[in-house]
Amino acid sequence: MSSLETANSYFEQAADVMGLSSNMRTLLKTPLREVKVQVALEMDDGHISTLIGYRVQHDKARGPMKGGLRFHPEVDDDEVQALATLMSWKTAVVNIPYGGAKGGITVDTHKLSAGELERVTRKFVDEIHDVIGPDKDIPAPDMGTNAQVMAWIMNQYEKFHGFNPACVTGKPVELHGADGREEATGRGVAVLTRTLFEHQKRDLAGARIAIQGFGNVGSFAAKFLCEMGAKVTATSDAHGGLVNEEGIDIAELIRYHDEHKTVKDFPGADAVSNTEILTADVDVLIPAAIGGVLNAENARDVRAQYVIEAANNPTEPEADEIFEQRNILVLPDILANAGGVTVSYFEWVQNRQHFRWELDRVRSELDRILAAGFNRVVTIAEEKKVSLRVAAYILGIGRVGRATVLAGL
Ligand code: GLU
């Protein structure tokens, strides 16, 4: 199933419970603008590579549009559109004053030199600078992009529009970035996992956790969950997986990953395949990599009782249904990974006020916002007797829908 079919299927499930008219469904699902551009790049060896870049701006009823930029070989129209709609619901679930957007370039960054990555980024900004901006649409990191890429985006945008660091978030701390932005998505995943356990009257201390993906989100989630007393017994990246029933030493693994750029062959654990991580014998499964990894083929083999969606769109609807039948509780992406965009919002606020917050303030404001989103979603799930995912969609779609109706067309 495509990413867009997955996102639409969850939208329709919530819209059915809400009793939304078909006209309203079409209005809310249709993106405001889709931009697709040529990104022509001169490679270091002199040959020309022609890449395709995307920016989909889905909805701006609640504020400027917001969402990451993904540089990955699987980026296409369908995926970017799906992820843009998820951003509209996500910003609404945590009630920050943004709409939703997403962008990307179909490229394998592992095959680019640093110079090529910089040129591709700047060329992309040349093509889209007039449709983005601090009051229009604010990009941020996603898979394959990082603080350095955001610094180049800011610098290139400012060549056209003048000083304006709020035009992009996730920047380096030394260049108008926010303390706590880099850790925010992973830390939010850990905080929400703990909140879910508290709500279930279970102790997170000693809980066994599997995390698929050890990039920015997976590694910070692992670090904070360990600090909270949980045990990460399985993890992986695109090159392979690791299992250690006693708990992997995450501080060591982070050091190993910094040096080798992979978790593969880490001496403190046994090697398994990347996909075996999904069916590991654990209490909590955290997909923190690409979309669509939990599907009809493997959902019956998942042994965790909780799935925390750190990745965007990791669960296909068939798997979601199987999890519901099997009483596996899923904390959906549009809440579980909303820590990143929430701290992006704090960065944007700080840039606009020219006032820097301390890390403690960033963390405590983030915790407050995530707790409010969690409580609201749980209340809707209990009242309407629906899953946490359908409840989160009801909350997000409801807030976007009300803003749309109040403003008028
Ligand atoms: N790419 C992240 C997401 O999917 C962060 C977006 C942002 O900070 O704007 O939520």
pLDDT in tens, 101-113: 999 999 999 999 9
Give the distance (Å) from ligand 1 centre to CA of residue 141. Answer: 6
Q: What is the mean pLDDT of the chain?
A: 97
pLDDT tens column, 221-237? 999 999 999 999 999 99
- The reply to whether 159 and 239 lie within a common domain is no
pLDDT band at 363 (very low <50, low <70, confident <90, very high): very high
- The reply to whether 93 and 236 lie within a common domain is no
3-state secondary structure the chain: CCHHHHHHHHHHHHHHHHCCCHHHHHHHHCCCEEEEEEEEEECCCCCEEEEEEEEEEEECCCCCEEEEEEEECCCCHHHHHHHHHHHHHHHHHCCCCCEEEEEEEECCHHHCCHHHHHHHHHHHHHHHCCCCECCCEEEEECCCCCHHHHHHHHHHHHHHHCCCHHHCCCCCHHHCCCCCHHHHHHHHHHHHHHHHHHHCCCCCCCCEEEEECCCHHHHHHHHHHHHCCCEEEEEEECCEEEECCCCCCHHHHHHHHHHHCCCCCCCCCEEECCHHHHHCCCCEEEECCCCCCECCCCHHHCCCCEEECCCCCCECHHHHHHHHHCCCEEECHHHHCCHHHHHHHHHHHHHHHCCCCCHHHHHHHHHHHHHHHHHHHHHHHHHHCCCHHHHHHHHHHHHHHHHHHHHCC
Pocket residue to mutate for ligand 1, from 150, 185, 290, most atoms within 8 A of Cβ: 185
pLDDT tens column, 178-223? 999 999 999 999 999 999 999 999 999 999 999 999 999 999 999 9
Give the distance (Å) from ligand 1 centre to CA of residue 68. Answer: 5
pLDDT tens column, 163-174? 999 999 999 999
- The reply to whether 216 and 160 lie within a common domain is no
Give the distance (Å) from ligand 1 centre to CA of residue 321. Answer: 26
For residue 388, being part of any structural domain is answered with no
pLDDT band at 260 (very low <50, low <70, confident <90, very high): very high
Give CA–CA dist 177/174, Å, rounded.
7
Give CA–CA dist 296/396, Å, rounded.
26
Domain boundary among 336, 356, 375: 336
pLDDT tens column, 29-70? 999 999 999 999 999 999 999 999 999 999 999 999 999 999
Residue 409: pLDDT above 90?
Answer: no
Give CA–CA dist 147/182, Å, rounded.
8
Instruction: Using a pLDDT cut of 70, give the percent of the chain over it.
Output: 100
Q: Whose CA is nearest to atom 9 of ligand 1?
A: 67
Give CA–CA dist 341/334, Å, rounded.
10
Give the distance (Å) from ligand 1 centre to CA of residue 165. Answer: 17
Residue 172 pLDDT: 98
Among 138, 146, 143, 165, which residue's Cα sits nearest to residue 154? 165
Give CA–CA dist 256/214, Å, rounded.
12
Give CA–CA dist 206/9, Å, rounded.
36
Active site residue 102: yes
pLDDT band at 118 (very low <50, low <70, confident <90, very high): very high
For residue 211, being part of any structural domain is answered with yes
- The reply to whether 133 and 210 lie within a common domain is no
Give the distance (Å) from ligand 1 centre to CA of residue 101. Answer: 9
- The reply to whether 238 and 147 lie within a common domain is no
Ligand 1 atom nearest to CA at 139:
9
Residue 74 pLDDT: 95
62 class by beta-carbon count within 10 Å (0-12 exposed, 13-18 middle, 19+ buried): buried
- The reply to whether 113 and 35 lie within a common domain is yes
- 95-134 in b/e form (b: 16+ CB < 10 A) is bbebbbbbbbbbbebeebeeebbbbbbbbbbebbbeebbb
- The reply to whether 190 and 321 lie within a common domain is yes
Residue 388: pLDDT above 90?
Answer: yes
Q: What is the average per-residue pLDDT within 323-333? A: 98
Q: Whose CA is nearest to atom 5 of ligand 1?
A: 341
Ligand 1 atom nearest to CA at 90:
10
Pocket residue to mutate for ligand 1, from 167, 216, 341, 366, most atoms within 8 A of Cβ: 341
Range of the domain at 188: 184-336
**Inter-axis angle of helices 3-18 and 317-325, nearest 10:** 50
Residue 157: pLDDT above 90?
Answer: yes
Ligand 1 atom nearest to CA at 142:
1
Residue 336: pLDDT above 90?
Answer: yes
User: Which residue matches tokens 């993106």?
Assistant: 31
The pTM (predicted TM-score) of the whole model is 0.98
Q: What is the average per-residue pLDDT within 133-152? A: 98
- Give the CATH number for residue 71: 3.40.50.10860
- The reply to whether 121 and 233 lie within a common domain is no
Domain boundary among 313, 336, 359: 336
Residue 325: pLDDT above 90?
Answer: yes
Residue 274: pLDDT above 90?
Answer: no
Q: Whose CA is nearest to atom 4 of ligand 1?
A: 68
Give the distance (Å) from ligand 1 centre to CA of residue 69. Answer: 8
Pocket residue to mutate for ligand 1, from 62, 71, 87, most atoms within 8 A of Cβ: 87
- The reply to whether 34 and 157 lie within a common domain is yes
Residue 358 pLDDT: 98
For residue 84, being part of any structural domain is answered with yes
For residue 202, being part of any structural domain is answered with yes
Pocket residue to mutate for ligand 1, from 344, 345, 350, 351, most atoms within 8 A of Cβ: 344
Q: What are the pocket residues of ligand 1 if the criterion is a CB atom closer than 6 Å to any ligand atom?
A: 66-68, 140, 142, 169-170, 312, 337, 340-341, 344
For residue 365, being part of any structural domain is answered with no
- Asked whether 59 and 98 are in contact (CB, 8 A), the reply is no
- The reply to whether 115 and 70 lie within a common domain is yes
Give CA–CA dist 40/260, Å, rounded.
31
Give the distance (Å) from ligand 1 centre to CA of residue 142. Answer: 6
The catalytically annotated residue of 29, 90, 102, 123 is 102
Ligand 1 atom nearest to CA at 83:
4
Ligand 1 atom nearest to CA at 338:
10
Residue 250 pLDDT: 98
For residue 240, being part of any structural domain is answered with yes
Count: domains in the chain:
2
Domain boundary among 165, 193, 220: 165
User: Which residue matches tokens 């990791």?
Assistant: 314
- Give the CATH number for residue 288: 3.40.50.720
Residue 286: pLDDT above 90?
Answer: yes
Within 8 A by CB and 6+ apart from 289, the residues are 212, 213, 215, 218, 237, 238, 311, 314
- The reply to whether 198 and 132 lie within a common domain is no
